[in-house]
Amino acid sequence: MSHRKKVLQKIIILGDSGVGKTSLMNQYVNNRFSAQYKATIGADFLVKEITVDEKLVTLQIWDTAGQERFQSLGVAFYRGADACILVYDITNPKSFENLDMWREEFLVQAAPRDPENFPFVVVGNKCDKQAERRVQTAKASNWCKTKGKNALPFFETSAKEATKVESAFIESARLALAQDTSETDVYIPDSINLNTGSQKKAQVTSSSASACC
């Protein structure tokens, strides 16, 4: 089997427990949604191959635990990230208020080369629950405008209904590509190639599966 040149991107998903990080990842990579909630233990990742701006990109998407007791593991998972998706639940104001904490913790622990311009994408998940909305779109949009020189990209998504999920991940990949200053593409071994649409999943700290809604 021949090798192919690809761009490898590591994307981290951060946010409080229960906001739907795992569900967003599973919807995007596997086109699946489960209403059953099971907290992620530590972190795990899925791999998806896409084409962005005529480049073949292999996304390594890391789903991280939202519980406080696992936050000390962050430095091990955040380092080397090319983009970060910050997720809150539109029905949970506290999860929105904690975005600042997640963003600041990521910048401290990941120590990116250019923190002011690091690619963040903000996602307000569970937009299918409009009757239960507690965080207004305008409030979140205004928050995004206060971070950095340019407003952070902002999407309201539904992992359940697949609303704008792909758009959020594609935008994070596109921003990461724009930040890439390397002159050569990463050479990725065949062991993580995606064959006929199949995905490879690896769990880092737990053998149990995770599924947040």
The model's pLDDT over 144-192, given as tens digits with 9 standing for 90+, comes to 999 978 899 999 999 999 999 999 999 999 999 998 755 444 444 444 4
Cβ contact 193:3 at 8 Å:
no
Residue 46: per-residue pLDDT: 93
Residue 180: per-residue pLDDT: 76
39-53, 96-110, 195-209: range with lowest mean pLDDT: 195-209
The residue assigned the tokens 């998903």 is 13
SS3 of residue 93 by DSSP: helix
Cβ contact 57:6 at 8 Å:
yes
Whichever domain contains 180, its CATH number is: 3.40.50.300
Q: Tens of pLDDT along 15-35?
A: 999 999 999 999 999 999 877
Residue 125 lies in a domain: yes
The residue assigned the tokens 């489960």 is 34
Residue 211 lies in a domain: no
pLDDT at 70 over 50: no
Cβ contact 130:91 at 8 Å:
no
Residue 37: per-residue pLDDT: 57
- H or E stretch including 109? helix 99-110
Residue 83: per-residue pLDDT: 97
Residue 207 lies in a domain: no
Report the relative pairing of strands 83-89 and 7-15 from DSSP bridges. parallel
By residue range, what is the domain housing residue 38? 7-187
Residue 203 lies in a domain: no
Cα separation, 186 vs 84, in Å, equals 20
- H or E stretch including 9? strand 7-15
Report the relative pairing of strands 7-15 and 43-52 from DSSP bridges. unpaired
User: Reduced to 3 DSSP states, what percent helix, strand and coil does the chain have, rounded to the nearest 5?
Assistant: 35, 25, 40
pLDDT at 196 over 70: no
What's the domain count of the chain? 1
| Token output for 22 | 């795992």
pTM of the model: 0.80
Buried b (16+ CB within 10 A) or exposed e, 67-91: eeebbebbeebbeebbbbbbbbbbb
Cα separation, 25 vs 187, in Å, equals 24
Residue 200 lies in a domain: no
DSSP E strand boundaries for the chain = 7-15, 43-52, 55-64, 83-89, 120-125, 154-156, 201-203
Residue 41 lies in a domain: yes
pLDDT band for position 49 (cuts 50, 70, 90) = very high
Residue 148: per-residue pLDDT: 77
Cβ contact 140:154 at 8 Å:
yes
Cβ contact 46:30 at 8 Å:
yes
Residue 108 lies in a domain: yes
Q: Tens of pLDDT along 78-136?
A: 889 999 999 999 999 999 999 999 999 999 989 999 999 999 999 999 999 999 999 99
Residue 79: per-residue pLDDT: 87
Residue 170 lies in a domain: yes
Cβ contact 191:12 at 8 Å:
no
